Chain A
Amino acid sequence: MSEINSKFQIPNSRVVENKKIKNKYFKMVIFCPPIAKYALPGQFVSIKIVDNYQPLLRRPFSIHRVQGKNIEILYEVIGKGTEILSRRKTDESIDVIGPLGNGFFYQEIISKFQIPILVSGGIGVAPFVFLAEELFQNSKFKIQNKPLVLLGAKTKNELLCEKDFKRLGCKVEVSTDDGSYGFKGKVTDLLKYLLSTINSQISTIYACGPGPMLKEVIDISKSYSIPTEVSLEGHMACGIGVCLGCVVNTKTGYKRVCKDGPVFKAEELVW
């Protein structure tokens, strides 16, 4: 990690494209070659939304995809910061730091006849397109290892990235809270159901989404003894490990979501 971190910098980045995907969800494509070069799935970038102090702090965003010299972020407009971000225009310069944090530990896990499961809730899907793409590019990765992707959304209208995963060749299962598409219920209920019926051996469960969902995923995976990694959110002030603001409790004490995470092994966490 240290080598990559020593290369992170604030490049002269600019907005290539910023468009609405659906509802409150937007995708921004940012030109920033150094980040695109070194980013790993599960890492994030920290963006200064405006030049002034309203909002004051940078905002963290999972790296959604890397395309050549560009990176993409997928975000939900949930507050003032993301609302302003959604109005940023093509060719504007944008202040981005990254890639930050530790990503998913996928390289060590892939072996023959095992499949990884990716479980997302809402905007938690953001880092998984990048992860799925990298999994397919891993030399040890065989076609039999095709990831199973579980996408949870409130309604069909809020479902994200289904096509991206299908295009890659992943098997995709969807749950919606209101039953407007796919399995009716929570994505964790879908996970429970699938684990009870699946024949393949599971290498790892990767999960990203709201805190309560992640806790349920961890409980479920524990009962099947499946290695699990979760990507957490935290109230970050600096995003680079200085302020000790975004900590999460672990077996070895408080750890920083931004620097020691955002991806943690489930067994480390004390929630």
Chain B
Amino acid sequence: MRVNLSVKIGKLNLKNPVILCSGTFSEELKYFLDFKKIGALVTKTITLKPNLGNPPPRTCETPSGLLNSIGLENPGLDLFLKRDLVKFLKWGVPIIVSITSIDEPEELFILAKELAKIKELKTIEVNLSCPNLRIKKLISQDKDATYNVVKKLRKISSQTLIVKLSPNVTDISEIALAAEKAGADSVSLINTVSAMAVDIQTRKPMLSTVTGGLSGPAIKPIALRAVWQVYQRVKIPIIGMGGIMDAKDAIEFILCGATAVGIGTANFVNPKASLEIIEGIKGYLEANRFKDIKELIGTLKV
């Protein structure tokens, strides 16, 4: 039996619902994966100007989790376009460029304007939720700020616009709703969970920035809850992510309302995880006699 795995996010057609998350995909994975088989690749978030990122130590393992504070190390727009994007766009897989601003949201609008000029690029993800910046409040922690930024981005760009949300809020569905009202085509959730770890021998924090963002299996229940809550409130497709390690995890997100799923930390543990997840989803659909993955989305029996 042939099953249809294709899904649509805004104007973007994905041959299957598996996406590699921002910050966990780079060219090095090509030694393990045929990118053509993946639904889409999200690039490491770029900023307008080159950004050094945070000092080491930047990562620490916690029970079933990975704590990180990379701090958006990236080459900046110009070098990214010249050196990276040109190459990525030739790989025959949808590329989603992740963007953010560090100080002024104005930078975000300039980035969106520049990316809108690139015809081959169909989709951008706006990362309003990186927890590792030295700013007091994230845009995605305020529904009005989210609305205003997304509204302005919508005017600038006709590309498919995905808004990445933070779990570090009281009610994530309100923020998702604000993004939808402002014209977002999709929301992706969750970014990492604000967290920290301590070394009692040195009596120091494990990360140079003291706090960081937690990912991995430890946060999957939080992510599932967030996807489920958002699914109750918005109509735009949700890209679900947070601790997905295998096909079973991915299917849980789809049942909770995710149209597509993001694979992140799993790429570090098993660089071939995404391919195994695509095969696993297909196997589950066949075994349960679904012809189309869309029949499964949000069908959690509650």
- A53 CB–B CB distance under 8 Å: yes
A249–B52 Cα distance when bound, in Å, is 10
B22-58 contacts to A, CB under 8 A, are: 23-26, 28-29, 31-32, 44, 52-53, 55-58
Residue of A nearest to B268 (CB): A238
| Contact among A54, A236, A237, A240 with B28 in the assembled complex (CB-CB below 8 Å) | A240
Query: Given that A48-B270, A56-B66, A235-B57 are known contacts, is A244 also in contact with B73, CB under 8 Å in the complex?
Result: yes
Q: Distance (Å) between the CB of A182 and the closest chain B CB?
A: 29
Residue of B nearest to A5 (CB): B31
Interface residues of A (CB under 8 A from B): 5-6, 8-10, 48, 53-58, 95, 97, 234-249, 253-254, 259
A30–B58 Cα distance when bound, in Å, is 31
| Contact among B24, B52, B66, B272 with A242 in the assembled complex (CB-CB below 8 Å) | B24
Complex interface bits, B49-84 against A, C-beta within 8 A gives 1, otherwise 0: 000110111111101111010100100000000000
Interface residues of B (CB under 8 A from A): 23-26, 28-29, 31-32, 44, 52-53, 55-61, 63-66, 68, 70, 73, 216-217, 245, 265, 267-272
Q: Distance (Å) between the CB of A143 and the closest chain B CB?
A: 39
Residues of A within 8 A of B25 (CB): 242
Residues of B within 8 A of A241 (CB): 26, 28
Q: Distance (Å) between the CB of A35 and the closest chain B CB?
A: 13
On whether the beta carbons of A243 and B59 are closer than 8 Å, the reply is yes
The secondary-structure label for the interface of chain B is loop
On whether the beta carbons of A56 and B65 are closer than 8 Å, the reply is yes
On whether the beta carbons of A234 and B56 are closer than 8 Å, the reply is yes
The secondary-structure label for the interface of chain A is loop
Q: Distance (Å) between the CB of A17 and the closest chain B CB?
A: 26
Q: Could you list 24 examples of A-B contacts with CB < 8 Å?
A: A5-B31, A6-B31, A9-B31, A53-B216, A56-B61, A56-B265, A58-B269, A235-B60, A237-B68, A237-B265, A238-B24, A238-B267, A238-B268, A240-B28, A242-B29, A242-B267, A242-B268, A243-B24, A243-B70, A246-B59, A247-B56, A247-B58, A247-B73, A259-B28
On whether the beta carbons of A242 and B28 are closer than 8 Å, the reply is yes
Q: Distance (Å) between the CB of A118 and the closest chain B CB?
A: 26
Given contacts A58-B268, A248-B56, 10 further A-B contacts (CB under 8 A): A54-B63, A57-B269, A95-B270, A237-B268, A241-B26, A242-B28, A243-B24, A244-B53, A244-B73, A245-B59
Q: Distance (Å) between the CB of B175 and the closest chain A CB?
A: 27
A261–B284 Cα distance when bound, in Å, is 42
Residues of B within 8 A of A55 (CB): 61
On whether the beta carbons of B269 and A56 are closer than 8 Å, the reply is yes
On whether the beta carbons of A254 and B53 are closer than 8 Å, the reply is yes
Residues of A within 8 A of B216 (CB): 53, 56
Residues of B within 8 A of A238 (CB): 24, 267-268, 271
**9 closest A-B pairs by CB:** A245-B59, A238-B268, A241-B28, A53-B64, A242-B26, A237-B59, A53-B217, A235-B59, A235-B57
Query: Given that A97-B271, A242-B24, A248-B56 are known contacts, is A57 also in contact with B31, CB under 8 Å in the complex?
Result: no
Q: Distance (Å) between the CB of B34 and the closest chain A CB?
A: 13
Residues of B within 8 A of A53 (CB): 64, 216-217, 245, 269
Residue of B nearest to A238 (CB): B268
